[in-house]
Amino acid sequence: MRGADYLYLAATSLLEKRGRAIGAVLGVTVAVVALSMALGIGESFQQAFVEQLRRTIAANSIIVFGGAAGLTDVDIAYYRSIPGVRGAYGISITQGTVYTESGEQVVQLVAVDLAVLPEYLGVSDMSKALEEGEPEPRGLGALVSYNLWRDPSTGRKTLDVGSTLTVRIRGKSVQLFAIGLLKQTGSSMIGHDFSTPTVFVDPEAYYTYVSSTRSYTAAIILVEDLSHLDLVTEEVKALSPYGSRVISAAAMVSQFVSMVGALQLFIALISAVGIGVTALWIFDSTAISVVQRTREIGILKAIGFTGSDVLTLFVLESAVLSLIGIAAGSLLSFILSLHARISAFGFELRPLLTPHVLLVSTLLPLFANALAAYIPARRAAALHPVEALRYE
């Protein structure tokens, strides 16, 4: 039998039971829209999140944590000499106490090169980290963290731009003044927890007034070409002192991408419930149709239709319903993607209907409905013509 004959018979049958057919089409349409929007929003969030992550932790960077002895200028020079390295910068972190109006308070004193200070703070530029004042420490002028210039319990401002800070470190006192006040921040790109009040100072001032030796807690290495990151990382590991820990920021990005991908899959599975409901509708509709058309199946087999022909007819009916619903759902999803906006986690997300999203949201309902129709259709295909004709 020709393909046109299959389509004609399938269309005729669908017209006869158009009430159920319309319900199935609507179900498929809703399922496709729900799945497309969920996957599209997930895709949009993943792109926005990863892009933000790459900007804030510098995906082309390698972070080295020194061992017990820390890192020296010699180590930094070695890192800079590696082919493909654009720059290497040491970071010094030490603990001290500062005298405020509420008493003595433990602080972290951090000296980091201005070239990588935004990356250290986890922002794309300093304007996004600064509440007021100047964005860069210079001389004895320092940047102070949110929980140092504002009382965490009352929210009252305790320091202003220009306020003096007396920091005591290893038995000596250093007079600093607040040149800039930072916004509230969770943690830095190297995992520094800002729950402890932090004071950022100019590296030259730090090594003049705080530390007489240049020993670094960690180092940030910037790579010229991201494609060479793995090779440079291996070189860095080979040149780092014993006990050092080397972390590639790209690996951190990959871990976050995997986490967001898992979240996207979870959302998609929840949205796919609609596909399961529609498939059950198709299964029920096909099973009822097989019972109601038992004599018709007997006649078809009596005039030469094979079991495969009957099976194809029933599966084709579900496929036609699915394709109509998929077309309507895809069109509606496209319209919604142009106008829908969702604010989440600080991002304004627009559903992205990528080829991957469209492929999943169209093939999944088509496959599910075809499978749902196939199960009762097998019973129709297995009917004996004589028994079917005798069916009342």
237-289 pLDDT tens trace: 999 998 898 887 666 666 666 766 777 677 667 766 777 777 887 887 777 77
Which amino acid does the sequence have at 379? R
Q: Which residue has the tokens 């319990």?
A: 153
In sequence order, which ranges of 293-354 are alpha helices (DSSP H)? Answer: 294-302, 307-339
* Of 183, 192, 163, residue with least CA distance to 98: 163
Q: Give me the percent of the chain exceeding a pLDDT of 90.
A: 15
> Given this model, what pLDDT does residue 137 score?
92
Would you say residue 128 has pLDDT above 70?
Answer: yes
Mean of pLDDT values over 145-167 = 86
Confidence of residue 192 (pLDDT cuts 50, 70, 90): low
DSSP-derived pairing of the beta strands 103-112 and 198-201: parallel
Residue 82 has a pLDDT of 93
Answer whether residue 3 shows pLDDT above 90: no
pLDDT at 11: 65
Q: Highest mean pLDDT range out of 4-8, 77-81, 299-303?
A: 77-81
Higher pLDDT, 72 or 290: 72
Contact between 92 and 203 (Cβ < 8 Å): yes
CA 265/CA 288 separation, integer angstroms:
34
Confidence band of 43 (pLDDT split at 50, 70, 90): confident
- What is the structure's pLDDT at 150? 86
What 3-state class would DSSP assign to 195?
A: coil
d(CA 61, CA 81): 15
**What pLDDT sits at residue 110?**
92
Tokens of 271: 């949205």
Quick check: pTM over 0.85? no
Answer yes or no: is pLDDT of 380 > 80.
no
Q: How far apart are CA 365 and CA 32, in angstroms?
A: 7
Average pLDDT over residues 334-348: 74
Q: What is the biggest distance separating any 2 CA atoms in the chain, rounded to whole angstroms?
A: 105
Write down the residue that tokens 């940030």 correspond to.
220
Distance CA 204, CA 319 (A): 73
Domain-wise residue ranges, the chain: 3-53+257-386, 89-216
CA dist., res. 298 & res. 384, Å (int)? 7
